[in-house]
């Protein structure tokens, strides 16, 4: 009798498992996949949107807290606590179909970044399997909604790119005042490259483009790259060559696996391979070699379909091997303020819809012309002023006061 009961029990378990496999379908989402965060955010959103009457359709007894801290420009901050589905089993109803969510965390196995492995498994009746793509698409659209019209900055975490901070409002391209014709030249070249993918393929040319913006500090190099990325609906991947743990092979992997529609930005490239930044205060030395960097840009293992922007304050310090065609296809000087730039910036700050000073637009134009002549005179005697200095000065002063006190901003600088 005991043997019979044991066999009956095993038969029931086997039959139940077989029936479950036949009648249900499961979808596993790993936290290595981008849809993992999208799905958890979607669950949180659904929980927050439910009315008390509908709350019965989403039951969760194992919760985790996600704290979001918002830092305001005036120095104040606020914290928001979101309760999300924690490790365990949860149930919810989607489009009339009940689904089970099982979130599991493996603490014994870690990512390279020290993050525990996690998976979310969705289980539904086999007849409802077609709902999975709709659910994931809905979660994706919800996540992308926060990025619409905004610029996302990515930074390197080990061998992965991850968003850094919150998406930022796109900066209008015209808000970065460069010497007339410079902005249009770079943007036209970039747009022409993006439209010639097949042209490169037909001729067997690697589909990648390199730009170098050089000039004194505060001239607007990085600001222009951010504005250009926003105007083209691109993101920015910020790469620090002196980051601890970054090696030649990791660099190749990062450059080859940058997110789609993103610029790779390498700032102060002249400082990446000298003693000033190679050794930190604790004795750490950068593992990136110059030859490894060159190979990552255009070597055999380097990736394609990418746009790299590099900036430097000292063009004369760059090795000719770095700025040759193929690695740098377009080099453009972004200099200190010219008379025309100063005039345009003054008009942009105080004229048109921004004119809240009580003076007419014609008076603003007259003051801007006086500033044009002032900058020209100072440049004639070897003095220069950066665009950043002018912008900071205009922020602090009204139009007439800004022009009167502008003289002290000029200093003697070598002309590039």
Average pLDDT in the 189-194 region? 93
Q: Which two tokens stand for residue 305?
A: 């379909």
Phi, psi of 96, rounded to the nearest 5 degrees: 85, 0
Q: Which two tokens stand for residue 189?
A: 């070249």
Strand partners, 246: none
Question: Which position has the higher pLDDT, 197 or 3?
Answer: 197
For residue 401, pLDDT beyond 90: no
Confidence grade of residue 362 (pLDDT, cut at 50, 70, 90): confident
Number of H-type helices and E-type strands within the chain: 13, 18
For residue 346, pLDDT beyond 60: yes
Confidence grade of residue 209 (pLDDT, cut at 50, 70, 90): very high
Q: Which has the closest alpha carbon to 329: 193, 183, 191? A: 193
Q: Round the average pLDDT of the chain to a whole number and report it.
A: 81
* Residue 247: predicted pLDDT: 87
By the 10 Å C-beta count (0-12 exposed, 13-18 middle, 19+ buried), 336 is classed as buried
* Residue 108: predicted pLDDT: 63
Distance CA 24, CA 132 (A): 13
Q: What secondary structure letter does DSSP report for 158?
A: T
Average pLDDT in the 52-60 region? 45
Sequence-distant (≥ 6) Cβ neighbours of residue 188 within 8 angstroms? none
What is the radius of gyration, based on Cα positions, of the chain?
29
Q: Which two tokens stand for residue 348?
A: 């942009």
Which 3 state secondary structure label does DSSP give 411?
strand
Confidence grade of residue 19 (pLDDT, cut at 50, 70, 90): low
- Of 79-88, 198-207, 240-249, 285-294, which has the strongest mean pLDDT? 198-207
- Of 22-31, 92-101, 228-237, 393-402, which has the strongest mean pLDDT? 228-237
Q: What is the per-residue pLDDT across 147-180, written as a single tens digit (0 to 9) for each?
A: 667 888 999 888 888 888 778 888 889 989 999 9
For residue 210, pLDDT beyond 90: yes
Q: Which has the closest alpha carbon to 258: 155, 337, 168? A: 155
Sequence-distant (≥ 6) Cβ neighbours of residue 134 within 8 angstroms? 95
Is residue 332 within 8 Å of 186, Cβ to Cβ?
yes
pTM summary value: 0.70
- Helix/strand/coil percentages in the chain, nearest 5: 40, 25, 35
- Of 110-119, 123-132, 230-239, 270-279, which has the strongest mean pLDDT? 230-239
Average pLDDT in the 373-390 region? 90
Separation in Å, CA 187 to CA 212, 215, 218, 225 = 13, 18, 21, 10
Q: Which has the closest alpha carbon to 310: 271, 346, 357? A: 271
For residue 89, pLDDT beyond 70: yes
For residue 277, pLDDT beyond 50: no
* Residue 264: predicted pLDDT: 93
Q: Which has the closest alpha carbon to 339: 367, 366, 379? A: 379
Average pLDDT in the 193-214 region? 91
* Residue 328: predicted pLDDT: 93
Distance CA 309, CA 209 (A): 9
Strand partners, 106: 117
Average pLDDT in the 116-129 region? 85
Starting at the earlier edge strand, list the strands of the sheet with 58-59. 24-30, 116-125, 97-110, 88-94, 58-59
* Residue 291: predicted pLDDT: 87
Average pLDDT in the 26-38 region? 85
Strands (E), 306-388: 306-312, 330-333, 383-384
Percentage, residues of the chain above pLDDT 70: 79
For residue 183, pLDDT beyond 60: yes
């Amino acid at each position: 009798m005991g043997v019979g009961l044991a066999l009956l029990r095993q038969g029931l378990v086997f039959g139940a498992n077989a029936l479950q496999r036949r009648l249900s379908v499961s979808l596993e989402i790993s936290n290595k996949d981008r849809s993992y965060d999208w799905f958890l955010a979607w669950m949180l959103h659904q929980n927050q949107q439910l009315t008390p009457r509908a709350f019965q359709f989403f039951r969760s007894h194992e919760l985790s807290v996600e704290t979001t801290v918002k830092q305001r420009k005036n120095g104040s901050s606020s914290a928001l606590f979101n309760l999300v589905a924690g490790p365990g089993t949860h149930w919810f109803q989607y489009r009339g179909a009940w689904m089970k969510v099982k979130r599991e965390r493996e603490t014994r196995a870690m990512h390279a970044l020290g993050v525990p492995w996690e998976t979310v498994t969705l289980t539904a009746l086999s007849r409802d399997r077609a709902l999975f793509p709709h659910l994931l698409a809905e979660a994706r659209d919800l996540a992308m909604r926060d990025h619409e019209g905004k610029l996302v900055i990515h930074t390197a975490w080990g061998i992965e790119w991850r968003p850094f901070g919150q998406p930022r409002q796109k900066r209008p391209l015209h808000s970065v005042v460069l010497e007339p014709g410079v902005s249009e030249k770079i943007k036209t070249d970039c747009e022409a490259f993006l439209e010639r993918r097949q042209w490169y393929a037909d001729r067997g040319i690697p589909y990648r483009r390199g730009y170098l913006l050089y000039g004194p500090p505060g001239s607007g190099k990085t600001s222009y790259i951010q504005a250009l990325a926003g105007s083209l609906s691109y993101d920015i991947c910020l790469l620090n060559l002196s980051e601890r743990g970054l090696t030649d092979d990791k660099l190749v992997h990062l450059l080859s696996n940058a997110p789609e529609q993103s610029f790779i930005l390498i700032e102060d490239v002249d400082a990446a391979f000298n003693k000033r930044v190679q050794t930190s205060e604790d004795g750490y030395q950068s593992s990136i070699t110059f030859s490894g960097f060159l190979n990552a840009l255009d070597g055999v293992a380097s990736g394609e379909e990418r746009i790299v922007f590099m900036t430097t304050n000292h063009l004369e310090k760059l090795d000719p091997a770095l700025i040759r065609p193929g690695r740098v296809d377009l080099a453009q000087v972004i200099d200190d303020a010219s008379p025309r730039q100063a005039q345009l910036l003054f008009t942009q700050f105080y004229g048109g819809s921004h004119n809240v000073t009580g003076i007419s637009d014609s008076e603003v134009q007259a003051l801007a012309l006086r500033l044009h002549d002032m900058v020209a005179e100072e440049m004639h005697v070897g003095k220069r002023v950066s665009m950043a200095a002018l912008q900071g000065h205009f922020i602090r002063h009204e139009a007439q006061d800004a022009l009167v006190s502008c003289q002290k901003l000029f200093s003697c600088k070598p002309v590039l």
